[in-house]
Amino acid sequence: MKTLVQRVLGGDKRAAAKLISMIEDDEPGARKALRKLYRHTGKAHIVGFTGPPGAGKSTLISRLIKEFRKRKKTVGVIAVDPTSPFTGGAILGDRVRMPEASLDPRVFIRSMATRGHAGGLALATFDAVHVLEAFGADVVMVETVGAGQSEVEIAKRAHTTVVVEMPASGDAVQILKAGILEVGDVYVVNKADLEGADAMVSNLELVIPERSKGWRPPVLRTTASEGTGVEEVAEQLEKHWRHLHASGELAVRERARAETELRGALAEAALHRLAAKPATERKLRRSIDRIAARETDVRTMAEELLG
């Protein structure tokens, strides 16, 4: 019998899908499998997509899947949607824009709920990216939840970040103040057939900074629903990937990603360990009472619980 890890490495979709669920549910065995997979990762180009809801991220990704398949690449997609904070449930609807792709053995699409994690991604998102890398993906596209102005975690974790905007989604001041506009390596104004596209493009060109030395982020126009402009997006993504290699920026970003992942894992492990102590829950509740009664403050209590 082949192990789950061997099956993932052999391009078995069912095995990759199971392992991603195990990671999401934090099941025993998931960590060990990831440890074994990790050395088979690191070759894929990880591309993050962010931008306001309705800008057309899913549609653009759906078109890019076809574009990358034309270029003989194996493609992975993780599409993140929000979990309801009240019920813990979620409706994951990004696949509606990506029909049929799953019949291709070299395309793997997975929907993922945030499960309470902030920043536009789920805790398990990048572990799942590693699974898709091991599955054989040459390109992994990560779609964040329809992000507002601060969900920029993706930029610290992807090799290339694409910011998708649409016409008339705000004037120049909105554009200037949005944190999201400082993170893109490639900007796409989708729905470019609508009025206001030219203004959006020139506003963007005015304010976007050079994100890394020698790379001026291009502002591209697409009408993803019709496929217009998508080939150019694929070109620019590949060009940026080559730029990262040639400039040495790749090593810088890989290190930044390792740091973000390690710090995240540390915070998670600390919480786990704290929660594992039997007395903690009681202590925690008592601490909450004391903070609410203004007897002490949050930071002091946190120190005390950790100590």
Partner 1 sequence: MAKKIRILVAKPGLDGHDRGAKVIARALRDAGMEVIYTGLRQSPEDIAAAAIEEDVDAIGLSCLSGAHMTLFPKVVQVLKKRGASDIVVAGGGIIPPEDVPKLKKAGLKGVFGPGTPLADIVDFFENAAKGRAK
The count of residues interacting with partner 1 (CB under 8 A) is 31
Comparing CB distances to partner 1, the nearer of 3 and 21 is: 21
28 lies in the binding site for partner 1 (CB under 8 A): no
Q: Specify whether the CB–CB gap between 142 and 154 falls below 8 A.
A: yes
Tell me how far, at minimum, the Cβ of 253 lies from partner 1, in Å: 28
Q: Indicate the DSSP class of residue 84.
A: P
Per-residue string for binding with partner 1, 67-106, x by CB under 8 A?
A: ----------------xx--xxxxxxx-xx--xx-xx---
Instruction: Considering only residues 99 through 138, tell me which ones interact with partner 1, judged by CB under 8 A.
Output: 99-100, 102-103, 108-111, 113, 115
DSSP string, 174-207: HHHH-GGGGS-SEEEE-STTSTTHHHHHHHHHHH
Candidates 218, 220, 222; CA nearest to 210 is 218
Which of 2, 3, 25, 182 contacts partner 1 by CB under 8 A?
A: 25
Please, what is the minimum distance in Å from the beta carbon of residue 265 to partner 1? 15
Q: How far apart are CA 192 and CA 237, in angstroms?
A: 19
Give yes or no for a contact between 163 and 180, defined as CB atoms under 8 angstroms apart. yes
Q: Strand, helix or coil at 28?
A: coil
The single residue among 21, 150, 174, 300 that binds partner 1, judged by CB under 8 A, is 21
Nearest to residue 147, comparing CAs of 260, 48, 256? 48
CB of 20 to partner 1, least distance (A): 7
Residues that bind partner 1 (CB under 8 A): 13-14, 17-18, 20-21, 24-27, 83-84, 87-93, 95-96, 99-100, 102-103, 108-111, 113, 115
